[in-house]
Amino acid sequence: MQSFFKIAKDMEAKLHALLAEMQDIKNKARQLEEENARLRKGLADACRERGIACAGQGETGKTGEGFINLLELYDQGFHVCNLNFGSRRTVDCLFCMAFLRKEHEPRAERTEG
């Protein structure tokens, strides 16, 4: 049977290792938040340059502008389907194409069934 002192010392070492891992996770989270802020700013700048409305810019855009933005994202090689949204695509995605086709239909046609 191990002595109480040895068990306590082992537990202390595990706690230090866990604390070091937690610090690493916090640092990575901070880096991701900073990168996210940079990317959001870059996206907003790109939207302003192109004259298109981006998410978070209010509801002042024209009708259908969101659909146009999704088409542009898809044309630039990104998924717009809910399964892989925002990830790069290398080939055409049937889910994206079905979503874009559904979004492009007039509302009255969609509800008739």
Inform me whether the pLDDT recorded for 14 exceeds 70: yes
How many CB atoms are located within 10 Å of the residue 99 CB? 19
Inform me whether the pLDDT recorded for 110 exceeds 60: no
Are 95 and 83 a contacting pair, CB within 8 Å? yes
pLDDT in tens, 16-59: 999 999 999 999 999 999 988 888 888 777 777 776 656 554 44
Packed helices 65-75 and 94-104: angle between N→C axes, nearest 10 degrees: 160
pLDDT in tens, 62-109: 446 777 888 888 888 888 888 888 889 888 888 888 888 876 665 544
pTM of the predicted model over 0.75: no
Q: Same structural domain for residues 113 and 61?
A: yes
Q: Same structural domain for residues 60 and 112?
A: yes
Number of domains in the chain: 2
The residue range of the domain holding 47 is: 1-51
From 57, 58, 51, select the one nearest 72 (Cα to Cα): 51
Instruction: Tell me the C-alpha distance between 36 and 38, whole Å.
Output: 5
Q: Same structural domain for residues 82 and 42?
A: no
Which of 33, 51, 69 terminates a domain? The answer is: 51
